[in-house]
Amino acid sequence: MNWYVDLVKEYPIYSAMIQFALLGTLGDVFSKWMQSKVIFLPYKWHIIFFKMLEWAFLAITIKYAFVGFQGFVDSLISHNLVPELGVFGRAFTVSVTMNLQFGLLLVILHRFLDNLIAQQNNWKNIDKGMFSLVWFWIPAHTITFMLDKPYQIGLAAVWSVVLGFILGYYNRRNKA
């Protein structure tokens, strides 16, 4: 794994973009597979390309949010505005502050870009996307922020695949 750590340290933005472009798009595809119970190409190739670009762009914002919110919590601790929290407490605090501030913006931006790519105006169930910040992203990112920094963006990209499975399964059950 040294090659991975070296790559992430040397190219933090580019590596985040690549990981999210591949894994975020894969999560979108898996979600469609789960909904239909069939493995197929759910998007035309040019849509997959645009979805990869979307995820790469989102990765930049996510990477900056990861760095910024970890610094934010560290600053709160250093100014005695928040007590020393230990590894779990710090990870949980970073996750909560990031998801309840930046996460809301990210859900809206993600839906906006999905709509732009699909050439539609679909804001249906945006509240469910925001609710996923509480039931999925805060616990997932708590685990993420307990890892060493080079592994955090990679795990966050993997979580997007996991969420794709969960949402695809949930949407399949609701269609039945």
Question: Nearest-CA neighbor of 95 among 69, 130, 74?
Answer: 69
pLDDT at 1 (0 to 100): 82
pLDDT at 176 (0 to 100): 54
pLDDT at 121 (0 to 100): 98
Other CB atoms within 10 A of residue 6 CB: 11
Full pLDDT tens readout for the chain, 176 residues: 899 999 999 999 999 999 999 999 999 999 999 999 999 999 999 999 999 999 999 999 999 999 999 999 999 999 999 999 999 999 999 999 999 999 999 999 999 999 999 999 999 999 999 999 999 999 999 999 999 999 999 999 999 999 999 999 988 866 65
Neighbouring C-alpha atoms within 13 Å toward the C-beta of 7: 13
**Where are the chain's structural domains?**
41-165
